[in-house]
Structure 1
Amino acid sequence: MDSQSLKIRQSPKQTCAQCELSGVQLNQHGPTISHIFFADDTLIFLKADQVNCRNLVKLMKVYCDALGQLVNLNKSSVFFGTNVPVVLAEELGGILGMPLVDDPGTYLGVPEMWGRSKSKGLAYVNDRILSKIQG
């Protein structure tokens, strides 16, 4: 095994052990979520604090160094819930090097923020199906 392969296999594990990330729990009985992978996109869910943001930056650096890829910060953004003070959100966005957004928008046409209304979140899917049926 060459040294680059060894670096790829060991560095993320070592860094993860040193840089634990605290995900979020949607309710007190549900699982903790830290990320979702889909194709070449990643959605990351973390507790909004300086330690998590610094650890995420370290992990992204290890990933980039090990695989020779880059995270495009121009295509990245960070969204905080309403319970995170604006001053803290701006500080954490600065640590991550990503712009803050008030509305994360849509992903593959589906709203990223559903709120409590499933019918509003699925309205896009319904509209798309109807448009396909009607031609």
Structure 2
Amino acid sequence: MERLGHLISAYVQHGRCHPFCFARNGSPLSHLFFADDLILYARADIQQAQIINEILSYFGAHSGHRVSKPKTHIYFSPNSNLDLQQTISSYFGYQRVESLGKYLGIHVQHQRLKCADYDFIIDKVKIKLIGWKARSLFMAGRITYAKSVLSAIPIYFMQTFHLGF
């Protein structure tokens, strides 16, 4: 997988692959890896789709790895043309989705977050509290347990989200 990352970076450095910028003056992002998962970011146009296909085909030919079409999804910005979305989706044969859903237990967000988007964190804490058999613990044990278990839940999500209200 590291070789695939180098291949994508080489295409970006040579100006063939155009990464995506999430903010006007933000750093461009072409890909993200986690274990054997890959998220590719690119402009929604036919040339970029062909280049991505070229990269994946080259890597597959040399490594023996292949993209699993049933497990692969393609997400488009709401600003992209619907006909272009259909053309690119058909070209790849990947399922087009309106949202990428969850990845490693965290929602992949596509818009500005609202306070209600964090309700799932409070729900997770409530579920933990309901499941406790706290009556069997002394008060000091309950406090220690609460500090160690309950504080870990929001900390995990704070690694990826800025929880500013």
Partner of 2:35: 39
Gaps (5+ residues) in structure 1?
1-7
Moved segments of 4+, more than 6 Å: none
Please say if residues 99 and 110 of structure 2, whose CA atoms lie closer than 8 Å, have aligned partners that are also in contact. no
**For the structure 1 residues 86 and 44, does the alpha-carbon distance in structure 2 shift closer, same or farther, using more than 3 Å as the test?**
same
How many angstroms apart in 2 are the aligned matches of 1:50 and 1:75?
22
For normalisation by structure 1, the TM-score amounts to: 0.78
Amino acid paired to 2:62:
A
**For the structure 1 residues 68 and 127, does the alpha-carbon distance in structure 2 shift closer, same or farther, using more than 3 Å as the test?**
same
Partner of 1:105: 101
1:85 equivalent to 2:81? Answer: yes
Amino acid paired to 2:87:
E
Stretch of structure 1 that moved more, 24-33 or 113-122: 113-122
How many angstroms apart in 1 are the aligned matches of 2:100 and 2:85?
14
Q: Secondary structure at the match of 1:100?
A: strand
Partner of 1:20: 16
- Percent identity between matched residues is 22
Partner of 1:62: 58
Cα RMSD (Å): 2.6
Please say if residues 111 and 121 of structure 1, whose CA atoms lie closer than 8 Å, have aligned partners that are also in contact. no
Amino acid paired to 1:56:
I
The CA deviation at 1:105 is: 1.6
Partner of 2:134: none
Stretch of structure 1 that moved more, 105-114 or 27-36: 105-114
Gaps (5+ residues) in structure 2?
132-165
Please say if residues 18 and 42 of structure 2, whose CA atoms lie closer than 8 Å, have aligned partners that are also in contact. yes
How many angstroms apart in 1 are the aligned matches of 2:27 and 2:84?
26
